[in-house]
Structure formats: C-alpha cells, structure tokens
Amino acid sequence: MVSLRDFKGKTVHFIGIGGCSMSGLAIILKNLGYKPQGSDIAESAFTNKLKSENVPFAIGHDVNNLKGASLVIYSAAIKPGNVEYDAAKAMGLPMLERAELLGQISRQFKTVIGIAGCHGKTTITSMCALILRECRVNLTVHVGGMVDFLGGGVAIGDYPAFLTEACEYVGSFLKLSPTHILINNIDDDHLDYYKSIDEIAQTFAAFVSLLPENGVLYANAHDARVMKVAGGCGRRVVTYGFENADYMAQNVSYDQMGCPEFDVVSAKGNAHVKLNVVGRHNMANALAAMTVCSDVFGIPLEAAGKALAKYHLAGRRFELMGEKNGVKVIHDYAHHPSEIMACLNAASRYPHHKLWVVFQCNSYTRAKTLKDKYAVSFSEADMVLVPDIYPGRDIDRGEIHARDLAAAIGAHRPCEYIPTFEQISAYLDEHAAPGDIVVTLGSGSVDRETKKLL
C-alpha cells in the first residue's frame, strides 16, 4: 500500500489536475507540506485557482511532465492508454487513485465530516462551508463543484477538522475515515456500476459502519432507505426534515421568485431563515447544513441562518446563463429523475410564461434503466426537447436512443426529439416568446452546449 505520508516534501504529480476534485486535492496537499504539480488537456476555472495558489501545471499530457515526480495521482477518468499513466506504470512510480488519496488525507484530521447522498451533497457541503466561514470556524473543505465564495472547490484552514463531499460512485467514500456522516438520500443512481438499489443501500450502510463508536449520523427523516440504514447503524443519529425530526423546517412560505422562508425548530434553539436560492429541495439542503453546523460545531441556528442568506448556488445549480430575445436561459446539473422533479418544481415558482425544458441524458445505461422514471419527471414543463444522448464514460450498445426517451416523456408531456443544440437553438428562436424561461438539464457537456442557445 502506497502511503501518502512517505512523500511529504516531495513532488506529487496529478494526471488530470484541472478537475474540480483533483485541483482541490492538489491545493490541500500543498498546504500539508507536499509539492503538487500536474497536467490536463485544457485550462478551466479550476486551473485558474491553481495559478492563484502557485501550483504548477502543464496543458497537454506528455511523458516529460512526470520529470521529478515521486508519486503520481490519477482520477477514475484516467485510464490505461493515457501516455502519462502508462509511463508512470512503466517507470514503477508509486501511484494513488483520487479516492484513495482523499481517504489518506482524511486520516490526517481529528474530525472528518462526510456529506453523502445521491443528490444534494455539493450544495449541502458548500452551505456548511459558508456557515462555518461566516462564523469564523476556519477548517479545510473539499467540495465537488465550483463555489463562488471559495473561488473553486476547496478552502484551507487551521481548525483540526475536514469537511468533504463523500461520493458514492464506485464506492469512493469507503476510502474515507469519517467521524461524522450526513446522508441526504439513497436513490437508484449510477446503475452503470451498481447492480441494484439494494446494492447502493448496502454500500451506504458500509460507509456508515466506518464511523467510530462515538461517531454521529445525520439522517434525512423523510428518506426511508436512509432511515433504515440509520436504524441499524448502532451510532448516535440526528434527524432533519419537515416533521418528526430533531431539526425541523416549519412555517414555510415562498417569495415571488420562488425563494423559501421558514423557521428552524430544534431542542438547541430556533431560527428564522430567508434563502436567496429557489426550491423546496434547497430549503431541505439548508436545513441539513444547519443541522451539521449546529451539532458538530455548536453554531447558533440564528447565526447559521444569517450566513445562508448570503448563499448562492454552486456552479451548474439553477444557474442563470443569460437571456436572448426576452427569454431567460437557466442551466441545472439535475440528471436523475428525482433531481429533475425537484429542479422543475423550483422552476415552476420562478416568474415565467412558458417553461421550456431541454434534457440531455448523460449515459446510455441511465437512459435505459431509468427511462420509465424519466417519463413522468417533467410534469411542470410546458414543452420538453430531447437531444442525442451524451455518452460520458458509457458505450452505445444500440439498446436505446434519445428518440426512445422522447417517446416515453411524450406519453405524458409535449416532447420532441431534436438531435443537436444548434437545432434546438433555431427551434427556440422560432417558438419561444419574451417572458418564457428555458431550463437545460444534464450532467455531461450541457453547460457548454447551453451557451449555443444564447
């Protein structure tokens, strides 16, 4: 087993350093006394963060980039065939996969809070980070998205605690050493890796089993699978929700833009909260963050609520991309049926005449396994447009096509298959009217493709 501690003060090379998680981990390593460097195929907002932190990197993969490296880090996106990966193997350089590195970093902190769940973890983690920052708890944070007030996906602190997004994909979070875990939900996502929802739930239970005897689980009281895991974990459990929970959101109302206002009620005190982000799901996310910050760090609920009034969603979360011909265009990372329904419920409260939705599924496996759920996920939309499937890491085996998704959705809501975003742009130019909104959904390249609509 390669031990990170053996490479302190030495050069650590990241293949794919421009990714959100990888760039953040490189910055954390620098703060811990290592010498990170790396390479990627293109610059990004995250490489800009690396520049500001004086972490060197090269654009383009090349064997020469490995010069001086004592340890090589690679992500799940880096496969055999990558010139740097293959060269590192041939040279016998010690190598660590990204999830293993994150796990070893977590073992260097006394307190480790893992924010987990199939949906909402980036938002909850970044909300926790803002509350703690505003309340002068300066700890190290690792988030799986672009967070404006962090200038990236990482914050460095001197408080002996580590707050990290804990991803369930390929069981990555099983590498962590958590003392506190929050699970927001357990859903049938990543079925390209997991065989069933039962296997997913078992993996979350295995994650919770990593808690020490004095560890704490924070559980969404309204998710049956989460509560089943909580019931058998043998650790202290703190619940949050809208009723019958330790921390509750009550007296809910919405303003004209769809932003919620509510009271938080708990044995540790009460607070009134007004958010500047839309949707019931983001109110639940805020309640989850307040629960963690109150219970772990003793943050007063009123102070947490005031901090969240400054919160704006992480990149690709109900992000206003621009406006054309009086039509606002919004993008959201939602790609699972549950996320789509939550997003469109929020969009329905946003001022508009007609709600257009452009949904690009990001996986053939996801399209095939979740087709029937996608079919009934667009009840708030006036019209759904479906372009070709984005393959991502998946392979087209000819088992499903975007036309099949469009037909399934079309049985419940008006829907059309339009292959490309260029064609969708022309369609919207002809049919959308001032005062309408267009919401583009998906986790692949949809954010970049959305710019074509503008």
Computed on alpha carbons and rounded to an integer, the radius of gyration of the chain in Å comes to 22
Is residue 125 part of the annotated active site? The answer reads: no
- H helices of 255-397, in order, are 280-297, 301-308, 337-349, 364-375
Catalytic, out of 35, 84, 122, 239: 122
Name the 3-class secondary structure at 322: strand
Sheet holding 139-147, edge to edge: 152-155, 139-147, 159-165, 111-116, 180-183, 216-220, 236-241, 247-254, 260-266, 269-274
d(CA 193, CA 200): 10
Please indicate whether residue 121 is annotated as part of the active site: yes
Beta strands across the sheet bearing 57-59: 57-59, 35-40, 11-15, 71-74, 95-97
- Evaluated on CA atoms 284, 117, 137, 144, the torsion sign reads negative
Region of 39 please: left (phi>0), alpha (psi -120 to 50) or beta.
beta
- Spell 30-57 as b/e; 16+ CB within 10 A means b: beeebbbbbbbeeebebbebbeebebeb
CB 453 within 8 A of CB 440: yes
**Whether 122 is catalytic:** yes
Token output for 354: 């007609």
Q: Which amino acid is at 179?
A: T
**Per-residue tokens: 153:** 């996906």
Which two three-digit tokens encode residue 343?
């997003």
Token reading at 110: 């006394």
Nearest CA to 394 out of 352, 335, 449 is that of 335
Which of 154, 156, 288, 308 minimizes the C-alpha distance to 222?
288
419 CB-near residues (< 8 Å, 6+ apart): 387, 388, 402
Single out the catalytic residue among 30, 121, 175, 368.
121
d(CA 402, CA 420): 11
Tokens of 369: 């396994």
Strand partners, 327: 324
Active-site option among 84, 165, 319, 339: 165
Q: Rounded to the nearest 5 degrees, what angle is found at the Cα of 252, between the Cα atoms of 351 and 226?
A: 105
Which residues does the annotation mark as catalytic? 121-122, 165
